[in-house]
């Protein structure tokens, strides 16, 4: 495992976002397009978990997202961030829900 200085960690901005809409991207096996509310803005974020978690399990829930990544296109959809998940060594992914009382847009560190 490579070690990093804590200053590297602080480069990433993570916030709590509320998934307003989640839909599988047509002609893909894993991609889900999310519309995420961060309080002061909405963003489109693409995540590759549809083979394990159906889109409807994401809607209406709060999760942690990295919000300062360079945009990247996946199957023609531009992603403006990344959903934070837990993953086991065998590739199983788990959602990390945020408690209801944590406000949308809250900074995570």
The answer to whether residue 87 sits within a structural domain is yes
The answer to whether residue 26 sits within a structural domain is yes
What pLDDT is recorded for position 83? 98
Q: What sign does the dihedral 107-51-87-8 (CA atoms) show? A: negative
pTM of the model: 0.93
What's the CATH number where 53 sits?
A: 2.40.50.140
Residue 42: beta bridge partners?
37
pLDDT band at 32 (very low <50, low <70, confident <90, very high): very high
pLDDT band at 105 (very low <50, low <70, confident <90, very high): very high
Q: Looking at the 3D structure of the chain, how many domains does it have?
A: 1
Q: Which 3-state string (H, E, C) describes 41-56?
A: CEEEEEECCCCCCCHH
Per-residue pLDDT of 1-18, as tens digits, reads 899 999 998 999 999 999
The answer to whether residue 1 sits within a structural domain is no
What is the mean pLDDT of the segment spanning 73-88?
A: 97
Query: 66 is in which domain, residue-wise?
Result: 6-108
The answer to whether residue 89 sits within a structural domain is yes
The answer to whether residue 82 sits within a structural domain is yes
The answer to whether residue 45 sits within a structural domain is yes
């Amino acid at each position: 495992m490579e070690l990093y200085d804590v200053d590297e960690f602080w480069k990433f901005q993570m916030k709590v976002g509320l998934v307003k809409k989640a839909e599988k991207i047509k002609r893909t096996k894993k991609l889900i397009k999310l519309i995420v509310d961060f309080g002061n803005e909405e963003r489109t974020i693409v995540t590759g978990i549809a083979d394990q978690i159906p889109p409807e399990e994401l809607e209406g829930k709060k999760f942690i997202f990295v919000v300062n990544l360079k945009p990247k296109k996946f199957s023609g959809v531009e992603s403006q961030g990344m959903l934070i998940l837990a993953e086991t060594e065998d590739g199983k992914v788990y959602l990390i829900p945020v408690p209801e009382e944590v406000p949308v847009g809250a900074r995570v560190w």
